[in-house]
């Protein structure tokens, strides 16, 4: 199961503080919950993050699992890489990606 963190929605973005979360280390990943939706957020390098929609493209289940650096849908086992690309079905469509920025210890997901 992915750790769950709260994202702060403001305007057209969701902000997530990194300190004290699994995102503090490269390779860390979380499920971000916000009023704007749910996102899968992973730290891919010291200053880069990958954000994708956490709703499976197969039957709209929320993706909550991980196996190494692969996201796993709990409903039917679809697997996605950190960029949201389908690695194993039954899903056939990739997850939507969102641009991110990292400033002053906070990741911002642009919607």
**Residue 6's closest CA among 58, 57, 41?**
41
76 is annotated as an active-site residue: yes
Q: Annotated catalytic residue: which of 3, 26, 70, 76?
A: 76
Reported as type and span, the H/E element at residue 38 is strand 37-43
State the catalytic residues: 76
């Amino acid at each position: 199961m992915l750790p769950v963190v709260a994202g702060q929605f403001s305007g057209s973005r969701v902000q997530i503080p990194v300190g004290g979360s699994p995102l503090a280390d490269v390779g860390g990943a979380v499920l971000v919950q916000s009023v704007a939706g749910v996102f899968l957020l992973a730290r891919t390098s010291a200053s880069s993050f990958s954000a994708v929609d956490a709703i499976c493209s197969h039957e709209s289940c929320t993706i909550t699992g991980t196996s190494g650096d692969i996201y796993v849908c709990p409903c039917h086992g679809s697997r996605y890489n950190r960029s949201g690309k389908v690695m194993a079905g039954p899903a056939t469509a990739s997850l939507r990606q969102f641009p991110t920025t990292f400033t002053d210890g906070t990741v911002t997901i642009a919607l």
